[in-house]
Amino acid sequence: MDKLTKFTREELACPRCGKVHLCDRYSVINVTEKPELKEKVLLNKLFVFKCDACGLTAPLTYESVYVDTKKKLLFYLTPERTENTEKSLAMWEKVDAGQKRIVTSLNDLKEKILIADNLLDDRIVEFMKIEHLKQLEKEIKDDNLLDILFDYQGNQYYFMLFFEKKGIGRIPVSQEYYRDAEHRYSSRIGRRPGDRFMEINMKWAGDIVFKRN
């Protein structure tokens, strides 16, 4: 399996004004080979459609594999799992990597990158989110919590909260809390699973916390 960056240049008509643009569609993004692509992903400059004629900016998420050869990361972005996805996943499964993940959105991909940048275990982070749900009980009753995402600034970790009505909020998460959670959950998750693709999200953590108790 070739792990190097691969893209095709495709014509894409603007859904608003019809102007045809040439867009680069990446099937493989290798950020060890092309570090600038990592920045583009994080700044929402890669999975996006921009029309210079009418000004439309719209997210453009498609199936793509994010590879960090140096950090041994393989993140498979798939908004929609099809038969072809499964075939492609089976091929990528043969590739050696320390961490293999399936993500379904650009935000989830970005979160995995940020977690890996901080050398944290994404499974522990998902357990911490589940614990935060209890603290947010009252707010969740009044508003719909759409998502919780890890973020950081310098040495400070955060959880970004996305509420339907209230919008975006941010709560600080201490490094001590992470270490504590790591200690408490380590027996539940065993060693770091690297050789198989996993979808690690709040559903995964919730299933372990609520169903196995």
Length of the chain counted residue by residue: 213
- Residue 47 tokens read as 């999975």
Q: Kindly tell me the burial class for residue 89, based on how many C-beta atoms sit within 10 Å of its own C-beta (0-12, 13-18, 19 or more).
A: middle
Residues 70-109 that bind Zn ion (CB under 5 A): none
The 173-192 contact track toward Zn ion, x by CB under 5 A, reads --------------------
Give the interface size with Zn ion as a residue count (CB under 5 A): 8
How far apart, in Å, are the Cα atoms of 39 and each of 43, 149, 183, 198, 208?
6, 18, 32, 24, 34
Q: Kindly tell me the burial class for residue 80, based on how many C-beta atoms sit within 10 Å of its own C-beta (0-12, 13-18, 19 or more).
A: exposed
Nearest to Zn ion of 50, 87 (CB atom): 50
CB of 64 to Zn ion, least distance (A): 24
Q: Interface with Zn ion includes 115 (CB under 5 A)? A: no
Residues 8-67 that bind Zn ion (CB under 5 A): 14, 16-17, 19, 51, 53-54, 56
Query: Which residues contact Zn ion (rule: CB under 5 A)?
Result: 14, 16-17, 19, 51, 53-54, 56
